[in-house]
């Protein structure tokens, strides 16, 4: 091969120069990063839980467990850290991708100056693929129009199979393969479940890659939907847990703590932090509530065990093809256990977002439906508190309950310590990419595509693989999420008592509602593993030093301005293509992302131009988005025009008394806010009102709660809204076009207050 080719008139007179493909270092390991969702510090068997996770536990027995691993306390932000090695605000992902704002630390758009681990490894000669939850593209970029440069294939992955948003139904997920929306391969009736599908896809990707290029290393980023809500799983996985949680969250948390001590997951002398006042004592609950709350936890436990089984199938396949020994495999969770079910839990998770209490009668009647097709369930926050044993609080907070999660490292060829060892070094999600690059023998690039790369904030943990006494890779790490703040430095941690403005938590949780009023508690984490003993009164000077250090870190990481109150939502970034006020659609094509559909909350009209053939009655879906848990559908049923709306699972149906006759017609559904918070839902035919119903509330969260969901025109998919039809129920007449138009938004008082009142009285 010649580096300076000589070109002649004939091939025999020329010297070829072959294209140089990147080659990874000799013996470079495969890399698998398994990211669990909303799994707390104490919710895996190998970290003290009695929830069965035998496959993850086996990896821990053959590898290392890190008990001082930290994250950002929310999904998107931690994932940005994992894949870039940079702090979340430093790459614009300071909060979840559904609420991105017009400030540098909150744009939701990872810059080209922060090339991802996938891009670096691809350029090193690795195959790269991502399976499962993404949540690193801003909500306004989910559509078929993109832009897709922050979808997985735009950030260094060569293949992708999964979902783009924060969450999705495990029974009927909104799936994407590479850059295209697809339908699930089976229906719920045929036994489909997302976790099983993701394991199948991960196995297939590895199989295809290793058979096509034996010996070429791969990077597989495997991010489960579990155990984020909705907690969906088949009954046979729940049955082993029947009665397991009947004695309540305090008793279960105490048992987890005792196992953690026995396993050495927490040091001897660690304090089990007390139950906070806002988590009710199990003994004070009614027998009916105990039954309901225990059932929520049984379903969650079954969901986790089911996910573990799918991870086990994937790991077993790596063993079968003899690549597991030289695979650097990480298992971790993106944040602490989630309290987004509120104090009571909920059959429909979105109700918790609006601080709506659970209807006890409804939950009692539907107890056996929890986890099934007709619910979108989340457990009460008492179980989140218990699942983060022995720490305080939960997801979205800078307390350890939000930011300390399990980490398991398994690499038989690269870790020579006795299996099951516990590592105590302080580490963070930003350390994962540097650790992987160090293990492979790759230096972070100075420039990618001609763009100088910003600093790497993390540091390698490789020295700790074989040396339990090696120092922590870094001495300092700041934390911030929704105004909750803390700072770690040389074994000390200062944490604010700021209470999130979200999910109605200020109504229950004690603490500051203004960052200027925050109390900074001080903890000696070297001797206080669980952040239990506030030493701020004893060391005021150290508190001041740590506060100043937090502000310094905030300044250099783009943390400011703080997203500390509900008004921050006024600064939400509109996206590259803000939803139009009016749009025209035609049947066919993929689902249209809800972020690009005209808003319906302030009133709207959907007008369909149809032609019904003579001699028969038309049927089928005109348009549909979501399902019985949240969304709406407009259709003809035996010729009658029907509209069904589900808001927080509350279903309203309106139908015309007479069928639409043969010939061309204009069929319309509209919602216009009334004098109260709700308003009339109307179906019209050829300009004449044919049927009305009272919608007690606007379709307030129809967009947010279905983030990532798309609207279909001319058919439906997924789960039905009611007994009228089973998807896809295609439109049998001619649908020339559908026009959706936003009407003027109402001038209403506090939306959440009115919505809460409307639903509580419904």
The C-alpha atoms of residue 407 and residue 428 are separated, in whole angstroms, by 10
Quick one: which of 557, 423, 491, 384 has its CA closest to 38?
A: 384
pLDDT band for position 753 (cuts 50, 70, 90): very low
pLDDT at 160 over 80: yes
pLDDT band for position 762 (cuts 50, 70, 90): very low
pLDDT tens for 188-225 read 999 999 999 999 999 999 999 999 999 999 999 999 99
| pLDDT value for 761 | 36
pLDDT tens for 360-401 read 889 999 999 999 999 999 999 999 999 999 999 999 999 999
Structure-token pair, residue 494: 């200062």
Contact between 88 and 80 (Cβ < 8 Å): yes
| pLDDT value for 363 | 92
E-strand ranges in 534-678 read 582-585, 592-593, 604-612, 620-627, 630-637, 640-647, 650-655, 663-671
E-strand ranges in 28-158 read 30-36, 64-66, 69-70, 127-133
* Residue-level length of the chain: 762
3-state secondary structure 681-708: EEEEECCEEEEEEEECCCCCCCCHHHCC
pLDDT tens for 438-469 read 999 999 999 999 999 999 999 999 999 999 99
Structure-token pair, residue 352: 């918790």
Query: Which whole number is the average pLDDT over 538-554?
Result: 98
Question: Which run of H or E residues covers position 437?
Answer: helix 432-440
CA torsion through residues 277, 281, 286, 288, sign: positive
- What's the distance, CA 661 to chain centroid? 46
Lowest mean pLDDT among 335-349, 648-662, 667-681: 667-681
Contact between 253 and 389 (Cβ < 8 Å): yes
Query: Which whole number is the average pLDDT over 397-411?
Result: 98
Contact between 518 and 496 (Cβ < 8 Å): yes
The C-alpha atoms of residue 386 and residue 395 are separated, in whole angstroms, by 13
Comparing 680 with 428, the larger pLDDT belongs to 428
Query: Which whole number is the average pLDDT over 480-509?
Result: 94
The C-alpha atoms of residue 235 and residue 240 are separated, in whole angstroms, by 9
Computed over every residue of the chain, the mean pLDDT equals: 92
| pLDDT value for 571 | 67
Answering whether pTM is above 0.85, one says yes
Contact between 454 and 426 (Cβ < 8 Å): no
CA angle 348/353/358 to nearest 5° reads: 45
pLDDT at 707 over 70: no
- Give the rounded percent of residues in the chain with a pLDDT score beyond 90: 79
pLDDT at 754 over 70: no
Quick one: which of 552, 399, 516, 315 has its CA closest to 40?
A: 399
pLDDT at 720 over 80: yes
The C-alpha atoms of residue 63 and residue 57 are separated, in whole angstroms, by 10
| pLDDT value for 747 | 43
Contact between 116 and 130 (Cβ < 8 Å): no
Per-residue CA distances from 248 to 251, 283, 284, 318, 432 (Å)? 6, 8, 11, 39, 36
CA torsion through residues 652, 735, 720, 310, sign: negative
pLDDT band for position 436 (cuts 50, 70, 90): very high
| pLDDT value for 744 | 66
319 Cβ contact list (under 8 Å, min separation 6): none
746 Cβ contact list (under 8 Å, min separation 6): 602, 603, 673, 698
| pLDDT value for 569 | 61
Contact between 411 and 328 (Cβ < 8 Å): yes
pLDDT at 233 over 80: yes
Lowest mean pLDDT among 339-343, 532-536, 605-609: 339-343
Question: Which run of H or E residues covers position 237?
Answer: helix 235-238
The C-alpha atoms of residue 762 and residue 749 are separated, in whole angstroms, by 19
| pLDDT value for 142 | 86
Query: What domains sit in the chain, N to C, each tagged with a CATH number?
Result: 30-471 (3.40.720.10), 484-571 (3.30.1120.10), 582-760 (2.60.120.200)
Contact between 336 and 41 (Cβ < 8 Å): yes
pLDDT tens for 578-614 read 788 999 999 998 999 888 899 888 899 999 999 999 8
| pLDDT value for 3 | 58
pLDDT at 748 over 60: no
Contact between 425 and 100 (Cβ < 8 Å): no
| pLDDT value for 688 | 95
Query: Which whole number is the average pLDDT over 229-251?
Result: 98
Query: Which whole number is the average pLDDT over 630-646?
Result: 95
pLDDT band for position 574 (cuts 50, 70, 90): confident
pLDDT band for position 670 (cuts 50, 70, 90): very high
Per-residue CA distances from 193 to 78, 189, 398, 676, 702 (Å)? 25, 10, 33, 41, 24
The C-alpha atoms of residue 529 and residue 423 are separated, in whole angstroms, by 13
């Amino acid at each position: 091969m010649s580096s300076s080719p000589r070109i002649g008139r004939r091939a025999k007179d020329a010297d070829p120069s072959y294209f140089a493909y990147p080659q990874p270092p000799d013996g470079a390991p495969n890399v698998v990063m398994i990211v669990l969702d909303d799994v707390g510090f104490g919710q895996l068997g190998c970290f003290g839980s009695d929830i069965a996770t035998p496959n993850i536990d086996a990896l821990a027995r053959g590898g290392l467990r890190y008990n001082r691993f930290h994250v950002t306390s929310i999904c998107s932000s931690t994932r940005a850290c994992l894949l870039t090695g940079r702090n979340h605000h430093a790459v614009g992902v300071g909060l979840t991708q559904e609420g991105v704002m017009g400030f540098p630390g909150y744009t939701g758009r990872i810059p080209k100056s922060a090339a991802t681990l996938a891009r670096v490894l691809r350029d090193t000669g690795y195959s790269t693929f991502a399976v499962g939850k993404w949540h690193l593209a801003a909500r306004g970029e989910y559509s078929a129009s993109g832009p897709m440069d922050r979808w997985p294939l735009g950030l260094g992955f060569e293949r992708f199979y999964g979902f783009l948003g924060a969450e999705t139904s495990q029974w009927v997920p909104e799936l994407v393969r590479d850059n295209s929306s697809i339908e699930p391969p089976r229906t719920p009736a045929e036994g489909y479940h997302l976790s099983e599908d993701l394991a199948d896809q991960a196995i297939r990707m590895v199989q295809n890659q290793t058979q096509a290029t034996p010996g070429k290393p791969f990077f597989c980023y495997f991010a489960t939907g579990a155990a984020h809500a909705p907690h969906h799983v088949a009954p046979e996985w729940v049955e082993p847990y029947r009665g397991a949680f009947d004695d309540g969250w305090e008793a279960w948390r105490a048992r987890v703590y005792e196992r953690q001590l026995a396993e050495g997951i927490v040091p001897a002398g660690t304090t089990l932090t007390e139950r906070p006042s806002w988590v009710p004592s199990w003994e004070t609950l009614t027998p009916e509530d105990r039954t309901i709350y225990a059932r929520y936890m049984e379903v969650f436990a079954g969901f986790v065990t089911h996910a573990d089984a799918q991870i086990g199938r994937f790991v077993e396949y790596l063993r079968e093809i003899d690549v597991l020994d030289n695979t650097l495999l990480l298992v971790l969770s993106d944040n602490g256990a989630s309290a987004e079910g509120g104090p009571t839990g909920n059959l429909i998770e979105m109700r918790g977002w609006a601080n709506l209490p659970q209807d006890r009668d409804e939950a009692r009647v539907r107890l056996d439906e929890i986890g099934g097709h007709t619910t979108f369930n989340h457990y009460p926050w008492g179980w989140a508190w218990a699942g983060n044993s022995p720490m305080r609080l939960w997801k979205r907070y800078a307390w350890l309950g939000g930011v300390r999660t399990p980490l398991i490292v398994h690499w038989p060829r690269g870790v020579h310590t006795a299996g099951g060892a516990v590592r105590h070094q302080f580490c963070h999600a930003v350390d994962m990419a540097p650790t992987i690059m160090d293990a492979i023998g790759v230096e972070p690039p100075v420039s990618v595509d001609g763009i100088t790369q910003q600093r790497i904030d993390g540091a390698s943990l490789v020295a700790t693989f074989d040396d339990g006494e090696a120092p922590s890779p870094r001495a300092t790490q700041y934390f911030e999420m929704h105004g909750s703040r803390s700072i770690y430095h040389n074994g000390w941690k200062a944490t604010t008592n700021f209470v999130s403005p979200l999910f109605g938590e200020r109504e229950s949780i004690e603490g500051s509602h203004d960052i200027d009023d925050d109390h900074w508690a001080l903890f000696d984490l070297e001797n206080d593993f669980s952040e239990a003993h506030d030493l701020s009164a004893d060391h005021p000077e150290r508190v001041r030093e740590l506060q100043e250090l937090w502000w310094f870190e905030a300044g250099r990481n783009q943390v400011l301005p703080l997203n500390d109150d509900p008004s921050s939502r006024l600064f939400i970034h509109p996206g590259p293509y803000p939803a139009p006020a009016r749009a025209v659609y035609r049947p066919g094509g993929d689902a249209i992302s809800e972020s690009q559909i005209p808003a319906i909350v302030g009133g709207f009209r959907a007008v369909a131009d149809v032609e019904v053939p003579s001699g028969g009655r038309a049927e089928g879906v005109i348009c549909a988005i979501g399902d019985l848990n949240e969304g709406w559908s407009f259709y003809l049923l035996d010729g009658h025009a029907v509209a069904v709306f589900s808001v927080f699972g509350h279903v309203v149906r309106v139908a015309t008394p007479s069928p639409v006759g043969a010939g061309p017609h204009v069929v319309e559904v509209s919602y216009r806010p009334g004098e109260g918070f709700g308003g009339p839902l109307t179906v019209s035919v050829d300009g004449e009102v044919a049927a009305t119903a009272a919608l007690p509330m606007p379709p307030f969260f129809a967009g947010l709660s279905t983030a990532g969901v798309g609207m279909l025109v001319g058919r439906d998919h997924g789960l039905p809204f009611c007994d009228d039809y089973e998807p896809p129920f295609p439109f049998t007449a001619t649908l020339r076009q559908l026009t959706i138009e936003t009407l003027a938004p109402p001038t209403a008082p506090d939306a959440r207050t009115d919505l809460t009142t409307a639903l509580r009285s419904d």
